[in-house]
Amino acid sequence: MQPVQRRFLLTLLLLAGLVWIFLSRTELPATPSGLVPAPQAGFLAPDFRLETLDGGQVRLSDLRGQVVVVNFWATWCPPCRAEMPALQAVHEAYDGRGVIILGVNATSQDSLDAVHEFVTDHELSFLVALDLDNGANRLYEIRSLPTTFFVRPDGGIAEVVIGGPMAEAALRARIEDLLQEAP
Protein backbone atom coordinates (compact mmCIF):
# COMPACT_ATOMS: atom_id res chain seq x y z
CA MET A 1 0.00 0.00 0.00
CA GLN A 2 1.33 3.39 -0.99
CA PRO A 3 1.87 6.10 1.68
CA VAL A 4 -0.73 8.31 -0.01
CA GLN A 5 -3.28 5.49 0.06
CA ARG A 6 -2.46 4.75 3.69
CA ARG A 7 -3.00 8.42 4.68
CA PHE A 8 -6.24 8.51 2.74
CA LEU A 9 -7.46 5.33 4.49
CA LEU A 10 -6.46 6.68 7.95
CA THR A 11 -8.16 10.01 7.21
CA LEU A 12 -11.28 8.19 6.05
CA LEU A 13 -11.29 6.04 9.23
CA LEU A 14 -10.86 9.12 11.44
CA LEU A 15 -13.65 10.90 9.62
CA ALA A 16 -15.93 7.85 9.94
CA GLY A 17 -15.13 7.70 13.67
CA LEU A 18 -16.00 11.37 14.14
CA VAL A 19 -19.27 10.91 12.26
CA TRP A 20 -20.07 7.87 14.44
CA ILE A 21 -19.36 9.83 17.64
CA PHE A 22 -21.54 12.71 16.47
CA LEU A 23 -24.45 10.47 15.47
CA SER A 24 -24.37 8.27 18.58
CA ARG A 25 -24.09 11.05 21.17
CA THR A 26 -26.73 11.22 23.90
CA GLU A 27 -28.59 14.46 24.39
CA LEU A 28 -29.01 15.69 27.96
CA PRO A 29 -32.67 15.95 28.91
CA ALA A 30 -34.17 19.41 28.87
CA THR A 31 -34.84 20.75 32.35
CA PRO A 32 -36.55 23.91 33.59
CA SER A 33 -33.30 25.30 34.95
CA GLY A 34 -31.21 23.97 32.10
CA LEU A 35 -28.53 22.74 34.51
CA VAL A 36 -29.85 20.57 37.33
CA PRO A 37 -32.47 17.85 36.74
CA ALA A 38 -34.29 18.65 40.00
CA PRO A 39 -33.59 20.66 43.12
CA GLN A 40 -31.18 18.62 45.20
CA ALA A 41 -28.82 18.79 48.14
CA GLY A 42 -26.02 21.30 47.70
CA PHE A 43 -28.01 23.68 45.49
CA LEU A 44 -29.99 26.80 46.31
CA ALA A 45 -33.67 26.08 46.99
CA PRO A 46 -35.74 27.56 44.15
CA ASP A 47 -37.80 30.49 45.32
CA PHE A 48 -41.60 30.53 45.17
CA ARG A 49 -44.43 32.69 46.44
CA LEU A 50 -47.67 30.98 47.48
CA GLU A 51 -50.91 31.92 49.15
CA THR A 52 -51.22 30.60 52.68
CA LEU A 53 -54.23 28.87 54.16
CA ASP A 54 -54.92 31.89 56.39
CA GLY A 55 -55.13 34.22 53.36
CA GLY A 56 -51.61 35.64 53.48
CA GLN A 57 -48.63 34.90 51.30
CA VAL A 58 -45.31 33.21 51.90
CA ARG A 59 -42.16 33.57 49.86
CA LEU A 60 -39.44 31.01 50.52
CA SER A 61 -36.63 33.54 50.18
CA ASP A 62 -38.25 35.65 52.93
CA LEU A 63 -37.57 32.77 55.34
CA ARG A 64 -33.79 32.94 54.88
CA GLY A 65 -31.85 32.99 58.12
CA GLN A 66 -33.91 30.11 59.49
CA VAL A 67 -33.93 26.35 58.98
CA VAL A 68 -36.93 25.61 56.76
CA VAL A 69 -38.56 22.21 56.37
CA VAL A 70 -40.58 22.32 53.13
CA ASN A 71 -43.00 19.41 53.01
CA PHE A 72 -45.00 18.81 49.81
CA TRP A 73 -48.22 16.95 50.65
CA ALA A 74 -51.90 16.33 49.88
CA THR A 75 -54.87 15.31 52.01
CA TRP A 76 -55.55 12.19 49.91
CA CYS A 77 -51.97 10.87 50.41
CA PRO A 78 -51.82 8.25 53.22
CA PRO A 79 -48.09 8.73 54.03
CA CYS A 80 -48.63 12.51 54.06
CA ARG A 81 -51.49 12.13 56.51
CA ALA A 82 -49.41 9.79 58.68
CA GLU A 83 -46.47 12.21 59.03
CA MET A 84 -48.52 15.30 59.87
CA PRO A 85 -48.51 14.63 63.66
CA ALA A 86 -44.69 14.43 63.57
CA LEU A 87 -44.46 17.69 61.63
CA GLN A 88 -46.83 19.35 64.11
CA ALA A 89 -44.84 18.06 67.10
CA VAL A 90 -41.59 19.31 65.59
CA HIS A 91 -43.21 22.68 64.87
CA GLU A 92 -44.28 22.98 68.50
CA ALA A 93 -40.87 21.87 69.80
CA TYR A 94 -38.87 24.30 67.63
CA ASP A 95 -41.25 27.25 67.47
CA GLY A 96 -39.26 30.41 68.11
CA ARG A 97 -35.91 28.63 67.72
CA GLY A 98 -35.21 29.54 64.09
CA VAL A 99 -37.06 26.62 62.50
CA ILE A 100 -40.02 26.96 60.14
CA ILE A 101 -42.21 24.05 59.06
CA LEU A 102 -43.81 24.90 55.72
CA GLY A 103 -46.39 22.48 54.40
CA VAL A 104 -46.97 23.00 50.67
CA ASN A 105 -50.30 21.44 49.79
CA ALA A 106 -50.68 20.21 46.22
CA THR A 107 -53.98 22.11 46.04
CA SER A 108 -54.26 21.71 42.27
CA GLN A 109 -54.59 17.96 42.97
CA ASP A 110 -56.58 18.40 46.17
CA SER A 111 -59.65 20.26 47.38
CA LEU A 112 -59.38 23.54 49.24
CA ASP A 113 -62.25 22.44 51.48
CA ALA A 114 -60.44 19.17 52.22
CA VAL A 115 -57.28 21.11 53.16
CA HIS A 116 -59.19 23.38 55.56
CA GLU A 117 -60.96 20.40 57.10
CA PHE A 118 -57.74 18.40 57.43
CA VAL A 119 -55.81 21.26 59.06
CA THR A 120 -58.67 21.94 61.48
CA ASP A 121 -59.24 18.27 62.36
CA HIS A 122 -55.52 17.67 63.00
CA GLU A 123 -55.04 21.03 64.77
CA LEU A 124 -52.07 21.92 62.56
CA SER A 125 -50.55 25.27 63.50
CA PHE A 126 -47.51 25.31 61.21
CA LEU A 127 -47.49 27.38 58.03
CA VAL A 128 -49.56 25.79 55.25
CA ALA A 129 -49.15 27.13 51.71
CA LEU A 130 -51.48 26.37 48.81
CA ASP A 131 -49.98 25.37 45.46
CA LEU A 132 -53.13 26.30 43.54
CA ASP A 133 -51.63 26.12 40.04
CA ASN A 134 -49.07 23.34 40.71
CA GLY A 135 -46.26 25.84 40.07
CA ALA A 136 -44.17 24.98 43.13
CA ASN A 137 -44.62 21.25 42.53
CA ARG A 138 -43.41 21.74 38.94
CA LEU A 139 -40.54 23.97 40.05
CA TYR A 140 -39.37 21.33 42.53
CA GLU A 141 -40.19 18.51 40.09
CA ILE A 142 -42.23 16.67 42.70
CA ARG A 143 -42.94 13.15 41.48
CA SER A 144 -44.01 11.58 44.77
CA LEU A 145 -45.85 12.78 47.83
CA PRO A 146 -44.74 13.43 50.44
CA THR A 147 -41.43 14.98 49.48
CA THR A 148 -39.55 17.00 52.08
CA PHE A 149 -36.72 19.50 51.59
CA PHE A 150 -34.50 20.51 54.48
CA VAL A 151 -33.26 24.03 53.71
CA ARG A 152 -30.31 25.66 55.50
CA PRO A 153 -30.53 29.23 56.79
CA ASP A 154 -28.49 30.38 53.75
CA GLY A 155 -31.18 28.99 51.40
CA GLY A 156 -29.23 25.94 50.31
CA ILE A 157 -30.85 22.51 50.26
CA ALA A 158 -29.27 20.24 52.85
CA GLU A 159 -31.30 17.11 52.15
CA VAL A 160 -34.27 15.83 50.17
CA VAL A 161 -36.44 13.00 51.50
CA ILE A 162 -38.80 11.43 48.99
CA GLY A 163 -41.63 9.42 50.47
CA GLY A 164 -42.73 8.92 53.99
CA PRO A 165 -44.00 8.98 56.56
CA MET A 166 -41.03 10.42 58.41
CA ALA A 167 -40.81 9.81 62.12
CA GLU A 168 -40.57 12.69 64.56
CA ALA A 169 -37.14 11.48 65.69
CA ALA A 170 -35.85 11.58 62.11
CA LEU A 171 -37.16 15.11 61.65
CA ARG A 172 -35.61 16.26 64.92
CA ALA A 173 -32.23 14.71 64.06
CA ARG A 174 -32.08 16.47 60.70
CA ILE A 175 -33.17 19.78 62.21
CA GLU A 176 -30.64 19.53 65.04
CA ASP A 177 -27.86 18.90 62.50
CA LEU A 178 -28.90 22.02 60.58
CA LEU A 179 -29.12 24.13 63.72
CA GLN A 180 -25.60 23.09 64.68
CA GLU A 181 -24.35 24.16 61.23
CA ALA A 182 -25.83 27.64 61.65
CA PRO A 183 -23.36 30.37 62.64
pLDDT per position as a tens digit, 51-72: 999 999 999 999 999 999 999 9
**39, 151 in Cβ contact below 8 A?**
no
- 146 CB-near residues (< 8 Å, 6+ apart): 71, 72, 73, 77, 79, 80, 83, 163, 164, 165, 166
Give the CATH fold of the 38-181 domain. Glutaredoxin (3.40.30)
Render the burial of 16-43: b for 16+ CB within 10 Å, e for the rest.
eeeeeeeeeeeeeeeeeeeeeebbeeee
Residue 12 is predicted with a pLDDT of 76
What's at 77, amino acid-wise? C
- C-beta separation of 139 from 32 below 8 A: yes
Q: Is the pLDDT of residue 82 over 80?
A: yes
pLDDT in tens, 89-145: 999 999 999 999 999 999 989 999 999 999 999 999 999 999 999 999 999 999 999
